[in-house]
Structure 1
Amino acid sequence: MASQFMRSTRLQFLTAAVIAGAICTVLPTPSHAAGVSPQQTAPQADDTSIRPFPKIHFSDEALQDLHRRIAATSWPSPELVPDATQGVQIATLRKLADYWQSGYDWRKVEDRLNALPQFVTTIDGVDIHFIHVRSKNKNALPIIITHGWPGSIIEQMKVIDPLANPTAHGGKASDAFDVVVPSLPGYGFSGKPTAVGWDPQHIARAWTVLMKRLGYKHFVAQGGDWGDAVTEQMAVQAPPELLAIHTNMPATVPDDIAKDLAAGAPAPAGLAPDEKNAYEMLDFFYKHGLGYAQEMTNRPQTLYGLEDSPVGLAAWMLDHDARSYALITRVFDGTPEGLSRDDILDNVTLYWLTHTAVSSARLYWENKLAFFEPKHITIPVAVSVFPDEIYAAPKSWAVKAFPKLIHFNTLPKGGHFAAWEQPDEFVSEVRASFKTVRPK
């Protein structure tokens, strides 16, 4: 993800850019995903129950079709430059495709997912899939964690048990959380909206409904990427049950800075070093990293090729931002840091098998908010800055954006997919962020 984007001029675009045996959920059943078990039933709009989610199992035929399509990839000629300035490099993608075809095992992630308690509930006519792990520790703090694009619940799988079972992972019983990880509408195993209107504000309201349905009288929320957009909208709406939020991709860019960025101007004089660094990171992203977002903001339905070619889908998902792309390239070049080849393909394969390339992209089209501009949040906010994020938010901006800033920390490593890349650091940050808001 990164942001919402307006639909015409560069100025409009960047002003907005300044940036996811039981009654079953609605699940796509395209030809290449046929065989997911069991059969799906249509959601009932008036059904507010929490239902067990069925066992995840895609048919052998669906996986064979995936392998056939990978093998049949029609490859373009190589890039004409020695770097990624023309896009995803063919050598990287061929390595990914080779491993996807001959070494990767989707069944392993199915087993890991099926080991987690999963549920579905219908909110405003859309089935919302979610993982829900209740801690065994008394007085655990409920938390809802939201992924983004090109992410999914795969991003959060490494942090669920450390948050819910802290004593097994170097924490204290008093650090425990009840963990709720939903799939955004149109993503993963959630249903696909059949009408427009599922923007971050709507999703934020739905998440509050979800937490109330689970019986929670108070809770906290966490998110990055679209997860931040949703989480910050929850904070704007400020339901009385929401105690605080934590974000690893905060909206802090001051209005004057946003205007200079939209104009493509050099960094203003007088910025502190960390502010100048943030400005330059954003400026680079706006000038060189928004191709995917422009298309999904304006014409998401046009992305038919992503539903037909798994390698095309992988290339589209890899080409998110320069630092994330560099991290993934290292994975397939044999020098991984934080992520493995299986991590990358677990996520891409989930998009492929659930047929959600286009439905997930529609969230960009739905959003009308400027992503990185402050939202006038008045409840407590915690911020963790990972240095290889799209931009490293300076504390001076965070203090202005969040009047009740209860935690701010800059980490030594990590990027856009913080929970996925650096789960230990992410868990430590979440524990520290909410320590002061836990009910006594």
Structure 2
Amino acid sequence: MTNQIRPFRIRIPQAELDDLHRRLTDARFADPVPGDEPDWSRGIPAAVVRELAEHWRDGYDWRAQEAALNAFPQFTTVIDGQPIHFLHVRSTDPGAVPLLLTHGYPSTFAEFLDVIGPLTEPGPDAFHVVVPSLPGFGFSTPLSGPGWELARTTDAFAELMTRLGYDRFAAQGGDIGAGVTGRLAALYPERVLGTHVNSDRGTIALAGEQLPMPEHLTVTEQAELDAARAAWKAGRGYLDLQSHTPETIAAALTDSPVGQLAWLAEKFEAWTNPGSGISRDRLLTTVSLYWFTRSGATAARFLYEAAHAGHGWLAASDVPVGWAVFNTSPVVRRIMDPDEKIEHWSDFAEGGHFAAMEAPELLVADIRAFFRKLRP
């Protein structure tokens, strides 16, 4: 076992780019059915898939995106036998607080590119920022073996912060990242200054499933909850499949770039606030990272491992916690904080599931505001 940390740069071989171009050129697309409306009621429309695939092939510049990613210091290390890739961007401010940012699904470390610069700016709110790739995601591949889920990842990320010399640190995340962030506070309370979680109105759909059912809802709130749960029931097929038979979808995601594209783009459409404006190129950077690293399969496996781990996504602790809810609904707090005990709770009409991409300025401001009162 070694604690060595190695510098890392993304260098996708030209042969991989050529292979992608060939596969996109030779791709087969589903024929439209006469009489169908070209909407998203049955998933991502074939016309949208075709347009995105053509742009990926002819208009998207991976080398430019690769250079932008490589502008940030990147490293790898091996923890518990697993390669862990991460960005580590230190502020020039001597008083900066270490901050661990953890992404979720279907995302990558690249979700945080727009917030790293502002968060590391010198000043009273400066941070040293660490952004790891979840095991099985992006360049934290290949998987070393089974069992990589929330709890094991939490321990690995705590060890990562130790190797970087950070005995105490702040933690932030959404989706899977929120689970890792909360579990860090529960298991390592002496090390975690505070936890900041970002979420969105989609959280309410989990009431009665992974989250408690709120009491005494108004007629309007109950109608909103019912609509959200119905939409989740219709759209959760991806989670059911990956939580039970990830190897089945792994074949398509690994062999077909159009399949990987459709699989991810559908979720970005469903979970992104329509007013956020994530560009095609930002979407395709995410898709490209999954494609080049073959991590569609291993990201699916992470969800399988989490579903069979025997513990939930939430972990209670006494560490201070802050919430920022984007594309908000009052029902979110009714579920997550019915007694309004969380002192730092922010609601934003803007943004959505991918807050760091959709509303980076708001997320940065809220992170700063929450941790300002917790700084040593």
Q: TM-score of the superposition, structure 2-length normalised?
A: 0.90
In 2: Cα distance, 1:124 partner to 1:260 partner: 29
SS of the aligned residue for 1:174 comes to coil
Q: Does 2:191 align with 1:241?
A: yes
Structure 1 contact 147–226 (Cα < 8 Å) conserved: yes
SS of the aligned residue for 2:327 comes to coil
Q: TM-score of the superposition, structure 1-length normalised?
A: 0.77
Q: Does 2:329 align with 1:397?
A: no
In 2: Cα distance, 1:348 partner to 1:426 partner: 23
Q: Does 2:316 align with 1:379?
A: no
Q: Which amino acid aligns with 1:226?
A: I
Call closer, same or farther: CA 1:90–1:176 in 2, change over 3 Å.
same
Deviations 1:212-237 (Å, cap 9, x if unpaired)? 11111210111111111211221221
Aligned to 1:142: 98
Deviations 1:287-322 (Å, cap 9, x if unpaired)? 111011111001111120111111111001122276
Aligned to 2:252: 305
Call closer, same or farther: CA 1:71–1:257 in 2, change over 3 Å.
closer
Report sequence identity in percent. 38
1:373 Cα deviation after fit: 7.0
Structure 2 contact 351–358 (Cα < 8 Å) conserved: yes
Q: Which amino acid aligns with 2:162?
A: K
Deviations 1:44-80 (Å, cap 9, x if unpaired)? xx10122212x21112221111011011111112253
Any gaps of 5 or more consecutive residues in structure 2?
none
Q: Which amino acid aligns with 1:287?
A: K
User: Aligned pairs, how many?
Assistant: 371
Alignment map for 1:273-312 (pairs within 5 Å): 276=222, 279-280=225-226, 282-303=228-249, 304-312=251-259
Call closer, same or farther: CA 1:371–1:341 in 2, change over 3 Å.
farther
Deviations 1:101-157 (Å, cap 9, x if unpaired)? 111000111111211111111110011110000101121111100111110011011
Deviations 1:324-354 (Å, cap 9, x if unpaired)? 3674xxxxxxxx7431111011110111111
Call closer, same or farther: CA 1:401–1:211 in 2, change over 3 Å.
farther
Aligned to 1:324: 271
SS of the aligned residue for 1:367 comes to helix
Any gaps of 5 or more consecutive residues in structure 1?
1-45, 167-172, 328-335
SS of the aligned residue for 2:267 comes to coil
1:97 Cα deviation after fit: 1.1
Structure 2 contact 138–295 (Cα < 8 Å) conserved: yes
1:275 Cα deviation after fit: 5.0
Q: Does 2:96 align with 1:96?
A: no
SS of the aligned residue for 2:91 comes to coil
Q: Which amino acid aligns with 2:266?
A: D
Call closer, same or farther: CA 1:250–1:376 in 2, change over 3 Å.
farther
1:406 Cα deviation after fit: 3.6
In 1: Cα distance, 2:112 partner to 2:288 partner: 16
Q: Does 2:360 align with 1:420?
A: no
Call closer, same or farther: CA 1:150–1:302 in 2, change over 3 Å.
same
Q: Does 2:182 align with 1:232?
A: yes
Call closer, same or farther: CA 1:81–1:260 in 2, change over 3 Å.
farther
Q: Which amino acid aligns with 1:190?
A: S
SS of the aligned residue for 1:188 comes to coil
Alignment map for 1:165-204 (pairs within 5 Å): 165=121, 173-204=123-154
